[in-house]
Every structure is written in structure tokens, then in C-alpha cells.
Amino acid sequence: MFVLYYSQKAEQTFGRVLNMPKYTTYKSIYETAGANREANAEQSFSIASFLHKLGLPKYRLNRSGTARVRLLLFVLIGLFAGTGVVHALQSDKAIADPQSVIVSPGDTLWSIAESYKPEGADTRIFITGIRQKNGLSGSEIHVGDELILPNF
């Protein structure tokens, strides 16, 4: 099928003219693609354009620069993860297994309490804690007994 465009030559050749509209509704994708590309370029966001707007220079990385950035990120992530693991592995005094003491010859509740009580704690209160933890009714202890110390 042939499409004829209006021209004097066509009129002379074929003797009849096809009525062609003066304006067409056809739009080429190639004409608008360039315009869209330019409009999108103005609206697009990139880190480089953002840095340029801030007045900072563009920074391009070669292979060694990319490797350095990756190494830096790996180290930073490792530090953050490592500090979280260390913090999680630190034992709380209240959660830790209770400390125990084997009674030696010459030990008394008072001497054990003086040796193992936290700094600033009252010795009498620590002795009361030892007695409660071990189910002692009095202050009598024997050599070889294992005493569980309270967590203060």
C-alpha cells in the first residue's frame, strides 16, 4: 500500500489528490524521547549532582579507592558489631553464677564477709546474706563447708 503526500507532482501524475489533513496527530517516539531525557536530567537525583549543589567536588573512585572504601565500611561495621557482642557477653553481677568459698581452718563468717563483701557494703548485712543463701541459723561454720556468697 502506498501513501501519497500532497504535491503538485502527485496531482499531475495520478490526476487525483488524496485529502491529507494539514496537521497530523502522529507523534514520533524519537522526537519526544530527547525532550523527555532532557526533562528527566533536570529532575533526576544523583549523589554527584547533590554534592555539586552543595559546592563539594565530584569524587570518583578507581578500583583501589573502591577497595579502600569497602575496607573502611567493613572495619566500621566490625567495630559496631564487635562492641555489641562484647556488651552482650559482659556478665551482670546479678546474673552471674554465685561465687562460693570453701571454709578453711580459722575462717569465720566475719573474716569471709570482710574478704568478699563489695566495697562500701556493711559487713553485718553481708553476713546476713551469707546465712540466708546457705540456710544457716547461727554463725557456726565448719572446715570444708562450701558457702555461697550473696550478690550485692
Does 76 score more than 60 pLDDT?
A: yes
Residue 126 maps to a domain: yes
Q: Specify if 95 maps to a domain.
A: no
Query: Is the pLDDT at 42 greater than 60, yes or no?
Result: no
Instruction: Round to whole Å and give the CA distance between 126 and 64.
Output: 62
Higher-pLDDT residue of 28 and 123 is 123
Q: Which three cell numbers stand for residue 38?
A: 532532557
pTM of the model: 0.38
Q: Whole domain around residue 30: which residue ranges?
A: 1-59
Structure confidence by residue, pLDDT tens digits, 85-129: 666 666 554 444 558 899 999 999 999 999 999 888 899 999 999
CA distance 93 to 82: 22
Same domain for 2 and 34?
A: yes
Asked which of 90, 109, 137 is the last residue of a domain, the reply is: 90
Q: Is the pLDDT of residue 60 over 90?
A: no
Domain membership flag for residue 44: yes
Our CA angle for 74, 80, 85, nearest 5°, is 115
Neighbouring CB atoms inside 10 A of 101's CB total 16
Q: How is residue 93 written as a grid cell?
A: 553481677
